[in-house]
Structure 1
Amino acid sequence: MATPSLALRIQYQLGPLLIIAILAMTIAAYFNMIHDTESRTLAYLKDTLTNRALFDSVSFKQAQTNTQQLRAEYLRRLKNAGDQDFSPQFDHWFERYPDGLVRVRKSLDDYQHLPSLYIRPNVKITPELQKLVWVGFQLLREWGPALTRYYYSAYIDLPGVGLIMYSPSVNWGALADPTTNNYDYPPVRNSAPDRNPLRKTSWSEVYYDDKARIWMVSAITPVDLDGKWIASISQDVSVDALIARTNDNAIPHAYNLIIDTQGRLITHPYMMDKIHASGGNLLLKNVADPQLQEISRLLQHAGAKTELQRSGDEQEIYGFTRIQGPDWHFVTVYPYSDIRKAAFDNARTILVIGVIVLFFGLVILFIVLRSQVGRPLGALSAAMQKMENGQYDVHIDRFGKGELRQLATGFNRMVHKIAERDQALIRQARIDSLTGLSNRYHLTQELPISMDLCDNYSQKLAILFIDLDRFKTVNDSLGHNIGDELLRQVSSHIISNLRGGDWVVRLGGDEFIVVVHDEFDTRKAAMDLSQRLIAALEKAIRIGDYSLHTSPSIGISIFPDDGRDVDTLIRKADIAMYKVKESGRNGYAFYEENFERSSDDIHLASALRAAFENNEFVLYYQPKVNLKTRQVVGSEALIRWQRPGHGLMMPDEFLGPLGELGLFPQLNKWVLKVALQQLAVWQDTVGQPLPVAINLTPDFYRQVTLVSDILQLCKTAGVAPELIELEVTEGALLEGNPLVRQNINSLRAAGIKLAIDDFGTGYSALSYLHQFSFDYLKIDRSFVMSLGERKSDSPMTRAIILIGESIGLGVIAEGVETEAQAAVLLEQGCGMAQGYLFGRPETAADFTQHWLLQES
């Protein structure tokens, strides 16, 4: 009987396999679609819950912040008021009504634009009470419109005394009667010291306000002054919109409810009548509803993040999240049957499409196999038979077109590149040729498998990164042959100390990795092995005529604690190893998070050195002005670092590391050079440039060639020395070095202006005025900041200005930010100033445009 053709045999053999494969893929897609649809639906539900909670939390968090900011401002104003008499203001604005209550005068009462208030009958009007009421009234008068833009009201309760309320919708002062006692009102009651001993912002229970006729909750912040409870500041938040939004759920067939931290039901679409009847005090434990009881039990273990749980009967999905502020529970109840229905509907569509594709695919397959595949595959089969017999000189003609032609071409190329394939396989070999150990490739292939096994059994792995101390010295001094033999013997020592199940690889050079696993205590096993290796390698290793001593530095990382991938675990073990080397070598250390900082310090040091080469430093210029005329009379050069990937960095972020690296001399020279070059540019563009003040580090003034170096830089730039002003800090003067004194006096003799920076902050600043020649005193910003606010600073600045005037020195105030500060300084006789009031530091181009061209 004749053998069927190749095409028929392929049809008989491949056809059933393809049918099985396509059916398998279709079935797999069917079940995967069920799982995927369910996962996506649950993820959508979780995202919706999270976003909903974030949205609903905004108003509560802001109300909480509002009361805290209002308390801080109220206390600040009360302290600033001191013993000031407020009776004129009190008598002008308020009066006692016939019913005995003190309210806003009828002629001034405008509750829609002003606060309303009442003070209970029989409350004695003392100066202290007048201050509390007037300061609170003024504060709400100023802040009230903004605070009630999105909230019902903001108010200050004086416990047992009265109320100051800003609420444009209700005149609370007019509604109060002689029996009104705010001490029993929730915002006051809940902020009493016995109910709120920690004095934190709290939230009232939800309650119905019969005057405002809305359901609301209050953010309550107690106010204590000198240890005494004087007031409660509150903001009422209407929850009507939240309740409506919660009951009107956007997810079909689901419903929402909100429960407070005490287990009270705030809203439930099917129980609103019961909630209203209870006055907002319907406790879950009192509701005979099995589902609510189950939710109540689950809430006891609910965390702060959004989470989903199935109900006990698997019929519902419960979604739990938190509304920040009052910390309420937001719960969504979603029918699990809806998820399954959507999943099965999608999967059924996939199944139908798969069956249709299978049918037409088989028809087309049989046609193609019969007409185009049989002969070409026959030729390929014959060529393969020759290759099996060792005939690698085979060649098949390129036939047909498309993929079959490419197959023929690829086959021929494969035959001629067998040698290249063999070389590629060799490169992928798993054995290190020098030591016979496994290599890095083996590690990257096998370690993930070990990690997966440990994951399945909740066990751990230890990665020991071993580096031989002083190996480079041996290798460089005695030759590579000795170094190679040392590596082989070290490998033998490592292997002899391993337990069953541990394995070692050589990464390269003198670096090894040992993988340690212990089903009980991997960390202890790693520590024990490290100690054995240190002890084993302490002994001298004999190689030829040499007795060599080496020691290991071992860094250890733990899977999965320190990482879940090979590269991370090796990197962290490497960091721990370098920590050992920094501590003296010949030891071991487990990786810790704070080790990363050392790596960051190394990167910062490298970046700082590169910053000079890459021209990343830049000078910004801040104007100095004549206080009387407000004309710019000079500028101060301030250094910045435009660090790639980090943006513009301020000096306090990099000057410390620069000093530790010993780069201050290079920095000083750079600052002087760039500032002088910029002066030369201004000299060419705007004629007579303005002087520039420059800050240099204290060690700069101890250089023997200081004066000649600066004068040479001036000559090179073509700039007169008189245009430079050096600001000398106390650190440069403190050590009493004769060379420093000589240099400073020589600089001034050369025409360079000198200023004592931050004058008044050091204990010996006055003594320097007799020892050195200066042109200016700079008043430290710490004395300027509170001018106009703190009376104690005004005499200090006046004294410094008088000192400057008495010995003929100009006075410059730095850090001037307000007109009030500038006015005090001008009145006291200060001539010049700089600060944000006049201009912020800016680039040379911006400074030129804003100040020099404008002035000219």
Structure 2
Amino acid sequence: MGRWTGGWQRAKAWAHVDATLARGLLWRLSLALIVSMLGLTWLVQHVSQRDVEAQAMEELRSTVMERARASGEDFALAERNVELLRAEYLRRLAAARPPGWQGDFRRWFARSPDQLLRLRPELDDHRRLPSVYLRAQAELNDSLMWQTQVAFDLLREWGPPLTARYYSAYFDLPGQGLIMFSPSVNWGAEATPETNNFDYPPVAGASPERNPSRSNRWTPVYYDDKARIYMVSTVLPIDFEGRWIACVSQDVSVASLLKRTVSDSLPGTYSLILSRDGHLIAHPGFAERIEAAQGKLKLDQIRDPLLDEIATLAPPAEGQAAVSLSADGRHLLGVARIAGPDWLFVSVYPRAHLDAGVARSSENILLVGAVALLVLMSLLGWIVRRQISRPIAELRSAVQGVSEGRFEIAHGEAELREDELGDLGRSFAQMGAELAQREARLKRDAQALQEARDQLENRVQERTAELHASNAELVLALDDLGKTQSSLLRAERLASLGRMVAGVAHELGTPIGNARLAASTLAADAEQMARDVEQGLRRSQLSKFLQRLGSGSQILQGNLERASELLQNFKQVAVDGSSAQRRVFALDQLVRDILMTLQPTLKRLPLDIQVDVPAGLEMDSYPGALGQVLSNLIQNAAIHGFEGREQGRLEILVDCPDAGHVRLRIRDDGCGIAAEIQPRVFDPFFTTRMGRGGSGLGLNISHNLVSNVLCGEIHLHSEAGAGSCFELLLPRVAPNHAEAETLPLPLSQFASLTEAEEMDAQSAGTRKA
């Protein structure tokens, strides 16, 4: 009974597995095969479509190029024909006229009742002879008669072969007449007294004014009311003995051209022709509209997106073809140039035509794949039930026992196998122990992770406290640095003020000393004059006294005026330096004032200072700020540029690159600035004379004044050993927002905030000497 019960349970397990895993596996395999088959079909379709599209593009390129070449040959042959006609016509026209040629002319031509000169009626046969008409207004002289006779004879000989491919060949005598060979139309008979071919399209473009190069040109498409067809003409002017006498032309029927080009297309495609000036020459879908517009249908009148896109394509080089995909991806476009009238031949290949062939191939692949899939699934079903369902049913029963705590697994069919299922069955015996060991390891790892997290929190708190302390120290250090910088700037300004007062006092010493000397001399002369008066004054003594009195007065007045001028300049510069307001000032006067205040220092240096400032150049800006910049740059050049040299040259140059700006350059021929330190010259506290009186603030303050107050730019151009040039580009009228900027302290423009202490030391040494 137990045996039957165990067998029944195994049968139920097999049935369950067969109903679940096996069926699911079969469905998955089927789905995988279906997806693989669909993917393979898509890949084959994609590759096929790409190959078919590439093949179609190449075929379209060669077809378009061949059609354009064939059409271009038609036009090139027509151009060659008219060139040969012109050459032969000029040769015969210049040749000696045979005796009796006038009689021949009258035998061929005669006046008609409407006064037009035509072929005699008994000779008129336009199918084998040229048709002729000369207007009644034309003066029938020997020259015109000879031109007509030569043209008639030439077309009588050449006309039949020339019109075998083309519609007509003719000579047009502008405003006088026409000689044409055309088997289709008798132009001479069609002409009326009102007929005037001067404004006819082939003739209108051949005048010297419209064709000064006298080259071969093609007309636009036009409708010939007598031939009743659309045509284009190649026209070549004929000049003889320095004047325009005729033009030779061949007409090409547009209909015959389209029959050879547009109508002969690849299967599934259609062709069209566009002119370069935006006219549609031929199109199978717009034939009626082209005819209604008399061959002058513009693309912007059609409003067709595909035609608009074709018109924007870059034309390929002559003899080449370009193939591209349209913007909507629905058409392949082949474009080639037709030589002659420079038209564009376009062939449109709908991609739907390509896709249909690829789709048919894909359908066949899918049909074969479906049949193969049915056969394969039948075989897979038998294999899965035999090789997978039974072993897995045994393994499922063993797993259920393990989950219930029964770790003794009975040996079954699965363990006897040598494949993956056998390995799985043998692995179940070790499962219980491994699960217990893994659980123990997980508990130990969780405990260690919790301890690590606790330690990490403590370390984060300690690091945060350290960062707070470092931040507080950094704030204190920045505050001390700001106070130190402010103190250093204030000390620099006070030192500059002292140097300026000393310089001005030194400069005033000369005129004041001269004035005192002149005054003491005058006083002594006055005492001597008083004694002379008591003793009896002579005229010579009085004259000598008056002469010395005048000379002394002049010396006294000149020196006092010099002192007054120095004080006035000092007062103006001092007012500018102490004022944060703008004013209108002359730039040349400002430069002279700055040089005058720097004169006590500069005159003791071996410098040749050259100034080139346009007179009367005015600025509406901040003279105090500009003066400080100039003073800093001049003294900086004097200190750094010529150290260790006996002489040097300093130039102050001003020009106006445009009406709204002033360019000021302070250039020297000194030792220059090394390239590696040039990017840092405008940094605060950067100096090459650290410890020798340099503060490193002068150029930084100058840069800030130029940028923030004067609203300009300052640049350095220098090369080691070749001198330096500081270039300032300033607006002549400072922007209004600059008035809100903070200007330097009063009189600070005289402070050489670079390295002025060294110059003062030199000045002190000179005074002691």
Pairwise TM-score range, normalised by the shorter structure: 0.3 to 0.5
* TM-score for the superposition, normalised by structure 2: 0.41
More helix by share: 2
| Structure of greater Rg | 2
* TM-score for the superposition, normalised by structure 1: 0.37
Kindly indicate whether structure 1 or structure 2 has the higher relative contact order, using CA contacts under 8 Å at least 6 residues apart: 2
